[in-house]
Amino acid sequence: MYQERASRLDGAIVWTRTVTAEAAGPGPGPAPYPVLPDGCMDLLWIGGRLLVAGPDTRAYVPEGIAGLHCAGVRFAPGAAPALLGVPAHELRDRRVELADLWSPADVRGITARLAAAEDQAVALEDVALRRAAGSPPPDPLLRAVVGGLNAGRTVAATADAVGLGARQLHRRSLDAFGYGPKTLARVLRLQRALAFVRAGESFAAAALAAGCADQAHLARETRDLAGLTLGAYERAYAAPAKSETPQPSGSRTTA
């Protein structure tokens, strides 16, 4: 079962997921719902471990989580690097131990507090809030970049709107989002399109509404970024699951 809510941290989402053995499938195989690229990074609590999920450029299938209660704080695109203290591109397509980024002694103390907490999701959110209070705020210019690209503007038009040259925008995007603005635009467009699919729109209508050239364009992007056909996505995410409620874009769980 997957659940999420808005965080007390601006722009973030707090989520929880419990994967039953039935939902995970027989044996030690992967859980059925892949994590799809969304431009975000997550702070994770999984089976007593604290981890960070970097920005994805391809679908990620979590393994070894059957029977585990997972919690996470999913940060808005560009918001996590200042809080975590590491450029996003260093964590691209990776899941790493939080102790590799922060003081191991501090992480041991945080781990003990979360293990004793009645609600690990709330406790994890508190960790993020305390860390954010002592960290530089996210760059508002890069928030404007996300807004422009998510509105369907071209990379060139977005760069002009925020007053950056193409090279400057690319360099700052690597640090903030983990990849360049063209990749971020593709990821955000795919998420828009799949939201329309989940809402019941036809593939062709979803493609046009999200800014794709046509349904074939959306189908290619879904295969490239999500590792799924449109039909497979619709069956896995839009239809009610028998044993587990699927998450909208894939919570970032890992072994």
CATH 2.60.120 domain position(s) in the chain: 2-133
18-55 confidence digits (pLDDT tens): 866 554 443 433 345 688 999 999 999 998 999 999 99
| Type and span of the H or E element at 217 | helix 215-221
**Mean pLDDT score of the chain, rounded to an integer?**
89
Q: Decide if pLDDT at 15 tops 50.
A: yes
184-196 confidence digits (pLDDT tens): 999 999 999 999 9
Question: What CATH number was assigned to the domain covering residues 140-238?
Answer: 1.10.10.60
* DSSP summary character for residue 137: P
pLDDT of residue 238: 53
The residue whose two tokens read 């587990």 is 244
62-115 confidence digits (pLDDT tens): 877 777 889 999 999 999 999 999 999 999 999 999 999 999 999 999 999 999
Query: Are 135 and 84 a contacting pair, CB within 8 Å?
Result: no
pLDDT of residue 33: 67
CATH 1.10.10.60 domain position(s) in the chain: 140-238
CA angle 251/113/38 to nearest 5° reads 15
Which tokens is 57 given?
A: 């450029």
Q: Which of 1.10.1740, 2.60.120, 3.30.70, 2.50.20 would CATH assign to domain 2-133?
A: 2.60.120
* DSSP summary character for residue 46: E
Q: Which of 254, 255, 253, 250 is nearest to 36 (CA)?
A: 250
Using a 10 angstrom Cβ sphere, with 0-12 exposed, 13-18 middle and 19 or more buried, the burial of residue 236 is middle
Amino acid at 119: D
Query: Are 196 and 206 a contacting pair, CB within 8 Å?
Result: yes
Q: What is the DSSP string of 96-137?
A: EEGGGTS-HHHHHHHHHHHHH-S-HHHHHHHHHHHHHHTSPP
